[in-house]
Amino acid sequence: MPFELQKDVKVEYDPKGMPFRRLGPSGLRVPIFSLGGWLTLGGSVTGDPVKEIIKTAFDNGINFFDTAEEYSKGQSEVEMGRAIKELGFRRSDIIVSTKIFWGVRPGPNAGGLSRKHVIEGAKESLARLQLEYVDVIFAHRPDPNVPMEEVVRAFNFVIDQGWAFYWGTSEWSAEQIEEAHHIAKSLHLIAPVAEQCQHNMFHRERPEKEFAQLYRKYNYGTTTYSSLYFGMLTGKYNDGIPPDSRFATNKDFAQFVEKFGEESGKEMINKIRELTKIAQEELNTTMSAFALAWVAKNPNTSTVILGASKPSQLVENLKALEVLPKLTDELMNRIEDILKNKPGPLPTHSRPPLDPLGKLTIV
């Protein structure tokens, strides 16, 4: 089939000064802030408001849109795909990623990372998105019931078919990612290039400590989610739980509500209050922008995925771009003094003991 230029382009992409980074070791360049569809697009937000949020992102330099087959049982992909088509973005101007694991229907083969579900799930995701391909397809969770070789081969098949350009992982352990890389290398296949993980001021062990060896060895990248810690780092809960907040109205966030009555929760709120003071009085910005810029400051972060239920929320969060250059080493150290949760280095094997003469003793 001969290549044809897209003829229905309605709007030209302008980066608007958005910084771009490589997605891990790949050649794909992604904006430092991207837009995700979890809980919002296709869930709490449908119809024209979805199109308004995506257009606002695009107009502000965001051209990376992330979703998953599981989000709102497939409706996130449907709404995102519809909006992209109606807005008339040039396909080569945007980056779209989706994730495979849970599926949208019950059934023994309707989820997981079997070759069957990875391939069929990818085809169904493309149909919902109304796209011929996604740029990145993620394994949304590890699957202990499927041999890793089958997983690696399945995602390589998806890439070989032209349905995706790259594949990645989401909430995998460093050990599982390492295994996937070893198998890919031994079979001369394509290894995953990035991990989609939670990373924020109060969730740091995995992205900053466990993955340290992956950054050094493979230049692995992260596409972070929940960088506002499910809303805790917006500062809106500094003085209690507002009645119209999702902590008050959504039972799925009961675990966070419980934190308010625990000592650890009270300590966390006190830390957020201190950080909010710095954000407002020294940086002249919001706590949200401050927290998002902090994650983006990490050199291993490829992109920070933003969630938004309305355009104005997205615009406010993008003020993090103004905060980023203000995060000096001195300020980063002050943040650490407040958080007091910086992960230590990975343990290393202890060296053999020295004998009294200073010689190594073989044990």
Lowest mean pLDDT among 206-220, 252-266, 304-318: 252-266
Task: Report pLDDT digits (tens) over 35-72.
Answer: 999 988 888 888 899 999 999 999 999 999 999 999 99
Task: Report pLDDT digits (tens) over 325-358.
Answer: 999 999 999 999 999 999 998 776 544 444 444 4
What CATH number has the domain spanning 20-234+287-325?
3.20.20.100
Banded model confidence at residue 313, pLDDT cuts 50, 70, 90: very high
pLDDT at 206: 98
Among 13, 71, 218, 237, the one annotated catalytic: 71
- Examine the pLDDT at 238 and tell me if it is beyond 90: no
pLDDT at 349: 54
- Examine the pLDDT at 1 and tell me if it is beyond 70: no
What residues does each domain of the chain span?
20-234+287-325
Tokens of 152: 């690696």
pLDDT at 354: 46
Q: Is 220 a catalytic residue?
A: no
> Which residue from 184, 211, 200, 220 is spatially nearest to 293, judged by alpha carbons?
200
pLDDT at 8: 81
Contact 300, 221 (CB under 8 A): yes
> Which residue from 228, 196, 187 is spatially nearest to 301, judged by alpha carbons?
196
Task: Report pLDDT digits (tens) over 80-112.
Answer: 999 999 999 999 999 999 999 999 999 999 999
